[in-house]
Structures are given as C-alpha cells and as structure tokens.
Amino acid sequence: MRLMPLDQKSNLLDDLEKRFQTYLFFSQYYAGKADPPILSWFYHEMDSFLGEHPLIIQGLDLLHEVQGEDSTAFRYDFNRLFVGPGKLLAPPYESAYLNQDGLVMQEETLSVRKYYRTAGLEISALGREPDDHIVFQLEFICYLLSQEAQALNGVEDDHINYLELYRKFFAEHLMIWVPKHTRDVQVHSQTSACKAMGLLLEGFLETEKQALN
C-alpha cells in the first residue's frame, strides 16, 4: 500500500503512526539495536506498509534471506559500513556526503543543529557526536511526527507547525543525502541484512518523497 498524502485528514493519525514506526525502526537499526532476528521480524510484521516501490520489493526479497544469516557477519558488516574503526564505507553523516571536503561538524552539520533547535531540541551528545548522524535525523523526525500527533489529539499546542517542519527537514536534509548514502551501502555491504536495509530505506524515502509532494 502507498503512504497516504499528508493532507487527507481522516487518515492522518494512521499515516503518522506508520511513518513514525518506520522511521523509528530505521533509527533503531542505525543505532545498532537491530540484528538479523529483529530484521526477520520486521520482514514478517511490517513489510506491508512500506509501500510498493521497486527498491522496497527488492529489499524485502533480500530481507527474506536474512533469516538464515549469521548475526556476527552482519555486525562486522554493519561496523565496516557505519561505525569503524576503519575508513567508513558508507558514513552515516550528512556532512560526509554534502560538505565539499567530506568533513563533519561543518556548515551542513550546523544547519541540522539549527533545525533541532527550531523544535526546541539539541542532541544530548552536543559537540561530541556530529548532529547530522542518521540516527539523530531519523529520531528527530519521530519526534516531529509524535508532536504533530499529540497536537492533533489536543495534547500539546506550542504553535510550532511540526508537519511543515518535517516536510522541510525531509526535503532539505534527509532526501538530499540519504540516497547517496544508501547507494554506498549497496556497493559496499557484504551481507543481505545491510544491503536489504539500505534498499528499504531508500525505497521508503522515495515513496515518502512522492507522498509529500
């Protein structure tokens, strides 16, 4: 199924929920909290609301193979791509892709920091981790979606248009660099799990891009 456009109010809460869960899952994955058993669960339980984008179909097919995959091999692959200690094969930082010198903590990172502050947040590891790490970006979106849902429910109203903030952040940040990153994942990943998650993320963002337009 497709993610519904954001302006169809009747389904908005459901829509927010689906997006929220998807972003949350990817953020958990990038935080290193998902291994092949959890990814298999993802395959069984959540595949249906990711949409029909070809990359998603491809990713889900690949994820099917993950069930038999060795957790250790996945972990080493994950670290080679995103953690280190060697040169990162698919750096999880926006700045690593967009900064002209490929450095973190430059203009690009600080622009993300500014976004967080607009929503009244900053990362707890301020100055210690680059603010534009994918985990933070995904979790930030979860926060925006959650705030929007709470506003809809009349829980909070602090005059911030969270949906608009999400739309802008998606277009100005996530969508600009994550596809470059997931392509690196395709090139360098050695396990189905990492490859599949890259395909799914890219497919999901492509679908979301359509939905947000």
The strand pairing partners of 155, in sequence order, are none
Cα gap 100→77, rounded to integer Å:
27
The interface with another protein within residues 147-186 (CB under 8 A) comprises 149-150, 153, 155
Among 112, 123, 174, 193, binds another protein (CB under 8 A): 123
The interface with another protein within residues 62-101 (CB under 8 A) comprises 72, 75-76, 79-80, 83-88, 91, 93, 95-96, 101
Among 11, 12, 28, 168, binds another protein (CB under 8 A): 28
Decide: is 32 part of the binding site for another protein (CB under 8 A).
yes
Choice between 7 and 101, CB closer to another protein: 101
Decide: is 128 part of the binding site for another protein (CB under 8 A).
yes
Choice between 103 and 211, CB closer to another protein: 103
Task: Provide the minimum distance between the beta carbon of 15 and another protein in the complex, in angstroms, as a whole number.
Answer: 11
Residues 6 or more apart whose CB falls under 8 angstroms from that of 144 comprise 119, 162, 163, 165, 166, 169
Among 17, 160, 176, 211, binds another protein (CB under 8 A): 17
Using alpha carbons, select from 81, 83, 57, 30 the residue that is nearest to residue 39. 30
- b/e string for 21-58 if b means 16 or more Cβ within 10 A? ebbbbbbbbbeeebbbebbbebbeeebebbbebebbbb
